[in-house]
Amino acid sequence: MDGRDVRAVPVDDKMTVPIKKVGVIGSGQMGNGIAHVTALAGFDVVLNDISADRLKSAMATINGNLSRQVVKKIITEDARKQALGKIVPAETIEGLADCDLVIETAVEREETKRKIFHDVCAVLKPEAIVASDTSSISITRLAASTDRPERFIGIHFMNPVPLMELVELIRGIATDDETFDTAKEFVTRLGKQIAVSEDFPAFIVNRILLPMINEAIYTLYEGVGNVEAIDAAMKLGAHHPMGPLELADFIGLDTCLSIMQVLHEGLADSKYRPCPLLVKYVEAGWLGRKTQRGFYDYRGDKPVPTR
């Protein structure tokens, strides 16, 4: 997931369609990260969520992350203030009406995303571009549920958004060149590197990453090694910055399961079958860091393996 070896896609000096105001649907980890980098790049941002409490929490998270960048001398204090001033919270979909680009970051469930696109397209201006941050679902299929499939594209950010260099761009079968070129210019202005993926299940990064995580869970399930041994093996033996089970907890076990299900159903290959242990953890509500328990228990002073 290191963007240094990925060549940026060449772009024109000007956007084909000017993007000035960007809407972000969902104020969770991905949504607040996208709002953060978009505002820092000078765009006006409308951060939308149906929960006022989540919006308040998201704004606090963004402020905290920007402040850390100030301490590390990545940005100035003035840049932090300007970025925060460019983000406007909105509890209703109508708050996105005058956006030029809207990026959806909802839970990785197709029916949820389709409902969001149905609602947002009803209030957007006709020329607005709609994008999904989906990590695995078909862009062509999502686009077909909107009134503007030619102005729909996948813009998949990596987590955590402020730190990760890469963004995957995925065009659906109907995505036109103007939309694609505009998306490339937008992502480049964020200071990110672009990898263009074809519209296949899970795209590039998760097509490779999630089966590795799933195999690590099978390794645990079959008793080949315990949680600590598996993570230590990949950190010390393959120089991964984070063990696969630790990474699964960071991503969210429900998200991991959703992506594996998309791969399994979309490619009809048994090698993508989600590990039964992953299913069991999700059924238990042990989803990783966000619920304080997954392959590790995070409720104490330091994470403790749960198996």
Give the active site residues. 135, 156, 168, 206
Q: Provide the token pair at 307.
A: 């198996």
Where do the H-state alpha helices sit in 48-175? Answer: 52-71, 77-85, 110-121, 139-144
Backbone angles phi, psi at 96, to 5 degrees: -95, 0
Of 201, 193, 219, 223, whose CA–CA distance to 272 is shortest?
201
Rg (CA), the chain: 19
Q: Residue 160: is the preceding peptide bond cis (ω within 30°)?
A: yes
Residue in this structure with the two tokens 């955590």, named with its chain if needed: 160
SS3 track for 127-143? CCEEEECCCCCCHHHHH
H helix or E strand, kind and range, residue 171: strand 166-171
Q: Provide the token pair at 254.
A: 């429900």
